[in-house]
Amino acid sequence: MLDLINVSYDTQIPNNVGLSTDKRVLKALEKWHPGYISWWNDLIPRDFQESLVYLRTAVSVDPKGWTKFDYVKMPEYRWGILLAPQIADRKIPCGEHAGDAAWQDVPGEYRAMLRRLIVIQGDTEPASVEQQRFLGRTAPSLYDMRNLFQVNVEEGRHLWAMVYLLHKYFGADGRDEADDLLRRSSGSQEAPRMLGAFNEETPDWLSFFMFTYFTDRDGKMQLESLAQSGFDPLSRTCRFMLTEEAHHMFVGETGVGRTIEQTCLMMKKAGIDDPFDINRIRALGVIDLPTIQKKLNLHYTLSLDLFGQEVSTNAANAFNAGIKGRYMESKINDDHRLNGDTYKVWNFVDGKMVQQDVPALTAINMRLRDDYTRDAAGGIGRWNKIIEKLGINFAMKLPHEAFNRKIGVFSGKCFDPDGMIITQPAFEAGIREWLPTRADGDFIQSLMKPCFTPGKFAGWIAPPKVGIDNQPGDFEYVKLHMA
């Protein structure tokens, strides 16, 4: 009998899907593997490839086995194919087939739609590794460097997860798509990544933390909705990915939190009470709170654009087909079909913003975006508790969802961060206060000095409260191999 909990190492590719008995897919993956390794090797600077990084690797997909910590050279990380355990008698949770047995194979009528969703999800995974490729050099500590590399190898694994589905269930088309996932490249002119936000370089560590907090959280919401899929292999893949995604949320939330904490601590120490006394605060070698708020504004609004149009027939079709559910679909108490239900969506009537009821089916994206905003707001509250505890009079906040949008009903119009519609000149005058300027970026960049002594941290960021895997403060999370 196949052991579907413990990870099997009897092929080159660790897996819990019985790969050794599935010669066709094994062969296809083994053919894809060298391309992946050379993609990885070309990406991360060589010094770091040779360094020993304290990483977690899954040895089984049950709670006790999936976080085994050890020193690993990144190119030797055991990327593998891990699906959450199958739930017996799982049913399609939503749409017109709700209540039917979940599909174990791709239903022919939804083949193209499913492939498209898997490719889009898969494309974001290597993209973020590409965006973050140079950050290791300016890591504020070995602890942070380890967290970056953990995020990177797991994004790599998530690519594997999607590639497995393409190879296993989509034949020749799937193989072509899998190859294209390695051909496209973040920021490339000729073959860019599919989504705009994934073609911007991540220039500094605050951007990285903001990216993992806001943009990876969009990824989390997409995974949550795919975890509800009636196509069971996709659901199981995404459920296991979500457990890993939690670490990425952690890196973002605590990274921003520690940056804020250090700023407040240094302000207190220097006797500065006014958070807007920016020049004096910057002279302390920390990032002032208003600039952190500007970074927040930018990353939040870019991430909102990833949810697409507020009203979308594609999203309606995917839900109706049972391919993609809502956030926490199984915990929502309704008929899971949404025929006749409505949902409130922003729209413009006579130049004014109004909330209109639209058929709930077409507002699936909007609903997921609202769930996202609620989820993202939680961390802001916890950051504010840090500021409050250190006695600084300042509070971070999420800007209005109309601000700085390029996609959806708000695009092409000017709003301030409170959601007031304003004129183009007023917007251009205010933008320096609302979004990071080049000078802000240059200042942040000037702080990005590496700190590679175990237990030490760059001056702009506070140490974490708890070590990874309960390790003590001066633990050597990365044993550097610097040629």
Residues near another protein (CB under 8 A) are 6, 60, 62-67, 70-71, 242-243, 246-247, 249-250, 253-254, 378-379, 382, 385, 465-472, 475
Distance CA 89, CA 102 (A): 8
Q: In terms of Cα–Cα distance, which of 386, 155, 135, 326 is closest to 248?
A: 155
Cβ proximity to another protein, 9 vs 71, nearer residue: 71
Q: Which is nearer to another protein, 54 or 164 (CB)?
A: 54
Q: What is d(CA 430, CA 404) in angstroms, rounded to the nearest whole number?
A: 12
Using CB atoms within 10 A of its CB, is residue 370 exposed (0-12), middle (13-18) or buried (19+)?
middle
Provide the β-strand partners of residue 354: 347
- Residue (of 417, 300, 401, 398) closest to 344 by Cα position: 401
- Residue with smaller CB distance to another protein, 268 or 385: 385
Query: Tokens in use for 209?
Result: 């933390």
What's the closest the beta carbon of residue 383 comes to another protein, in angstroms?
11
Q: How far is the CB of 330 from another protein (least distance, A)?
A: 11
Nearer to another protein, 123 or 261 (CB): 261
Q: How far is the CB of 153 from another protein (least distance, A)?
A: 15
> H or E stretch including 98?
none
**Strand bridging mode 352-359 / 342-349:** antiparallel
Distance CA 64, CA 74 (A): 23
- Count of positions (residues) in the chain: 483
Nearer to another protein, 186 or 303 (CB): 303
| Residues 316, 362 contacting (CB under 8 angstroms) | yes
State the minimum distance, in angstroms, from the CB of residue 85 to another protein.
Answer: 12
Taking the complex as a whole, the smallest distance from the CB of residue 102 to another protein amounts, in Å, to: 18
Give dist(CA 305, CA 196) in Å, integer: 9
Q: Give whichever of 138 and 303 is closer to another protein, judged by the CB atom.
A: 303
User: Least distance (Å) from another protein to the CB of residue 164?
Assistant: 22
Helices 23-43, 111-131: inter-axial angle, 10-degree rounding:
30
Residue type, 51: S
For residues 170 and 177, give the distance between their C-alpha atoms in angstroms, rounded to a whole number: 9
- Nearer residue to another protein within complex by CB, 28 or 468: 468
Half-sphere exposure of 346 (CA within 13 A, CB side): 17
CB closer to another protein, 1 vs 246: 246
CB of 26 to another protein, least distance (A): 25
Q: Which is nearer to another protein, 346 or 475 (CB)?
A: 475
Residue with tokens 């008995």: 21
Helix (H, G, I), strand (E, B) or coil at 347: strand
Task: Please write down the HEC assignment for all residues of 214-248.
Answer: HHHHHHHHHHHHHHCCCEHHHHHHHHHHHHHHHHH
Shortest spacing between CB 52 and another protein, in angstroms:
10
DSSP 213: I
Q: Quick one: 187 or 473, whose CB is closer to another protein?
A: 473
- Closest approach of Cβ 246 to another protein, in Å? 4
CB of 395 vs another protein, minimal distance in Å: 16
Q: Say how far apart CA 155 and CA 150 lie, in whole Å.
A: 9
